[in-house]
Structure 1
């Protein structure tokens, strides 16, 4: 599934209308965010995650979405189930993303 770029206006709707959502928070100036972006897109296309919605949120431009996950550093990954935050942490590692996705699938 393609990564959906969202903002404060559509964020709440997307996390509440989709059962399982993973969000990557980034900033345009963040080098680690830019390095992680291709990995995030690649994982989003994997068949085993087809039931999970992948979102991208610019943390600097969308304070409501940023606060919903308690973003404190970038890049930051968070998982939501039925609109509720399950877990989130600052990380640019594919291993952590996969750990979150496994947790989301089992939730």
Structure 2
């Protein structure tokens, strides 16, 4: 599956899809973003069961500000509506593949229980 352009108009629709959603916050002028783009695109082709989206931080300033994106590229991974990963930095292909595998192996019932327990302590 090719990557989808994510905007303020379609962000909620993209992020609320069931399963795993990877979002790449990037900009055309960013060298590391250009290095990461083919790695991200290849991963999208290898995982057609997942949604891969790209947010152009220059065109979608409001989205970048909402998520406090101060360094790009930033990768965000959401599974079943839960943000599991949000870190800046261009990942090499093996590291991205490993991260995707770890996210897929998570027991989301355990993750939600841990979040609920943490929120109960607050």
Please indicate the TM-score interval, normalised by the length of the shorter structure: 0.7 to 0.9
Q: Name the structure 1 match of 2:71.
A: 73
1:91 is aligned to 2:89: yes
Question: Mean Cα displacement is larger for which, 1-10 or 57-66?
Answer: 57-66
Equivalent residues in 2 for 1:43-62 (5 A)? 43-46=43-46, 49-62=47-60
Alignment length (residue pairs): 105
Separation in 2 of the partners of 1:70 and 1:18?
Answer: 24
Check conservation: 1:69, 1:88, Cα contact below 8 A: no
TM-fit CA distance, 1:70: 3.8
Which TM-score applies when normalising by structure 2? 0.74
TM-superposition CA deviations, 1:50-83 (whole Å, max 9, x none): 2211101112322443355442210111101122
RMSD of the alignment, in Å? Answer: 1.8
Question: Mean Cα displacement is larger for which, 56-65 or 82-91?
Answer: 56-65
